[in-house]
Structure 1
Amino acid sequence: QMGGWFNKPIESLEDLQGLKMRIPGIAGEIWNKAGGTSVMLPGGEIFQALEKGTIDATEWLGPANDLAFGLPQIAKYYYMPGWHEPGSMLEFSINKKAFEALPSHYQFILKIACQSVADKMLNFYTAANAKALETIKSNPNVEIRQFPSVVLDKLYQMTQEVLSEMAASSDDVKKVYDSYTSFQKQAQAYNRVSEEAYYRVRTAIESIETDI
């Protein structure tokens, strides 16, 4: 996902103060702690609210859905990164006892079907978002910007605060939180020497070739 659409530039922490953004859930709590004002709005009301100035900003999805939703028509600044949701995962919930009561081959089919749908979703949006981003870039009325480091640092601090409070609220939440963060550390360590390292080197080489 992206960081959202804004009708005001975000250049400092002061710019967050009271800024009304449609951003639900945990991310909304974090936004409030950082000084902003989170607003809950159903998808069907976002365009009109942003157009009329009822809200100052909104997060939605990625470039493909944002473009289809018409957001480039009514907002000037498209911010990155999607600090609140770097990626999306599909979920399929089923009663554990009901699942275990299924024959083993049906359980297998269900697992493979879920995996297939998740893979297709990821592949589809990787391509669709890349194409849509090019269209958005070509719009002279839209500026794609990165949140300032001071803003990202603040959001990170508030994220840790909110998640720590949630983890302390119940043993079940703490169990999930500890599991997530443990895997995150492992995955990030590998990512730094694999994909992140690859793209860093490739970007540097492409920059040199451009200069030449």
Structure 2
Amino acid sequence: MERRQFLKGAALAGGAAAASTLAAPAIAQERIEWRLVTSWPKGLPGAGTGVDRLVERINTMSGGRLHITTFAAGELVPALRCMDAVMDGTAEMGHDASFYHHGKDPAFSIFFAVPFGMTAQEQFAWIAFGGGAELWDELNAKYGIVAFPAGQTSAQSFGWFKREINSMADFQGLKMRIPGLGGDLIQRVGGSAVLLPGGEIFAALQSGAIDAAEFIGPLNDLALGFQQVCKISYGPGVQEPGGMMQMMVNRAKYQELPADLQEIIKVACWQMHEDMKVEYDYGSGRTMETLRLEHGVEFLRLNREVLEGLGKAAGEMVQDMYDNGDDYMRRLWQSYFASRENTMRFLRFNEQAFLNARTLDFAFPSRGLG
């Protein structure tokens, strides 16, 4: 999907959504009406379409008792103001990436992704079984919200660049759109991190306001048109080895709901987490071929010198956060790395070894079975 077509469709869909909202009939007395704001352009593959599925699921599972109306980025509040909207009651729910709130507390970024940290499955294991959910709730309670895992980008791309990155010196002076701890990492190695919502990245690349940008991976990148400005896409996304999206709910409003509706929201969010991950896993591989064959994009891998340089800087960054953190930050990092070490033990022995084995030189059937 070309960027122009995608954005035109998003605008038409947004207008239709606004019109249908204004024309809505009187609310039935027994039905609870909620608003959900997102950080994503209307219809964005993965993040945007995942929200659409979630809302449909909640509306259906609740038997219409809880009805949610969705507002894409900019329709009700700006893309990066979702958390504020949920906190102040402008909307009851908000879907975004927690690292957008790094300025409120750097701990929010840890619950999205940590450079050289945990993969998608390792991170979810920490949340579900390793004590991560309790620490996350402790943080969110300070801001009057409840949050659930609600989407997973899987391992992201490192980003789009106008020139090659062959050494650590190439980061000096580089202006890159990259939020959260990944942004802190780029600044640590000599670059400048810029926070922009997805819908504003193309224009910033085109104008030269930024030299590079990362935004999830091929499935979204094609829709947003980055290939029209840059022809180099780097991997692996060491800055975000697994990005956990979140669904925020106003804490007071959530607690007012009957127990079954609370559970429906939680279960629907957790299902969305798995839905979105496999949508990105499947769609990104297919889209890579479109970008390569039809748009001349080069998919390059960061070399060993750069990977080791970034890894060293990331380790120093995390150690500094721990050493200079308060009691909560220290407990958070201790829990994070205890879970990371635990899950890595078996994944290295089994899954990583299998992925390595799959690259060995032996014949194996492919799509062209005959």
TM-score grouping bracket, smaller chain normalisation: 0.7 to 0.9
Pick one of 97, 117, 125 that aligns with 2:272: 117
Aligned to 1:48: 203
Matches within 5 A, 1:55-70: 55-70=210-225
Aligned to 1:6: 161
Describe the superposition over 1:42-97 as per-residue Cα deviations: whole angstroms up to 9, x where unpaired: 33332122123222111111110011111111102100011111122132344667
Q: Output the CA distance in 1 between the equivalents of 2:177 and 2:342.
A: 33
Matches within 5 A, 1:92-107: 92-94=247-249, 104-107=259-262
Paired positions, count: 208
Matches within 5 A, 1:89-168: 89-94=244-249, 104-139=259-294, 141-167=296-322, 168=324
1:110 CA drift (Å):
3.1
Matched, 1:88 2:272: no
Q: Output the CA distance in 2 between the equivalents of 1:90 and 1:37.
A: 24
Is contact 2:199–2:224 with CA below 8 Å preserved after alignment? no
User: Relative to structure 2, which stretch is displaced further, 42-51 or 81-90?
Assistant: 42-51
1:116 partner SS: helix
Gaps of 5+ in 2: 1-155, 365-370
Say if 1:140 and 1:71 are closer, same or farther in 2 by CA, change over 3 A. Answer: closer
Matched, 1:183 2:351: no
Is contact 2:227–2:295 with CA below 8 Å preserved after alignment? no
Aligned to 1:199: 355
Say if 1:110 and 1:140 are closer, same or farther in 2 by CA, change over 3 A. Answer: closer
1:159 CA drift (Å):
1.4
Matched, 1:24 2:205: no
1:198 CA drift (Å):
1.2
The share of aligned pairs that are identical, in percent, is: 37
Give the residue type in structure 2 aligned to 1:42: P
Q: Output the CA distance in 2 between the equivalents of 1:175 and 1:72.
A: 42
Question: 1 or 2 for the larger relative contact order (CA 8 Å, sep ≥6)?
Answer: 1
Aligned to 2:363: 209
1:11 partner SS: coil
The structure with the largest strand share of the pair is: 2
Describe the superposition over 1:133-164 as per-residue Cα deviations: whole angstroms up to 9, x where unpaired: 12122246321111111111121122122222
Give the residue type in structure 1 aligned to 2:358: R
Q: Output the CA distance in 1 between the equivalents of 2:189 and 2:292.
A: 29
Is contact 2:175–2:191 with CA below 8 Å preserved after alignment? yes
2:160 partner SS: strand
Aligned to 1:73: 228
1:68 partner SS: helix
User: Relative to structure 2, which stretch is displaced further, 131-140 or 14-23?
Assistant: 131-140
Is contact 2:159–2:235 with CA below 8 Å preserved after alignment? yes
TM-score (norm 1): 0.88
Is contact 2:174–2:192 with CA below 8 Å preserved after alignment? yes
Gaps of 5+ in 1: none
Describe the superposition over 1:14-42 as per-residue Cα deviations: whole angstroms up to 9, x where unpaired: 11111111112221111011111222333
Q: Tell me how large the CA RMSD over aligned residues is.
A: 2.1
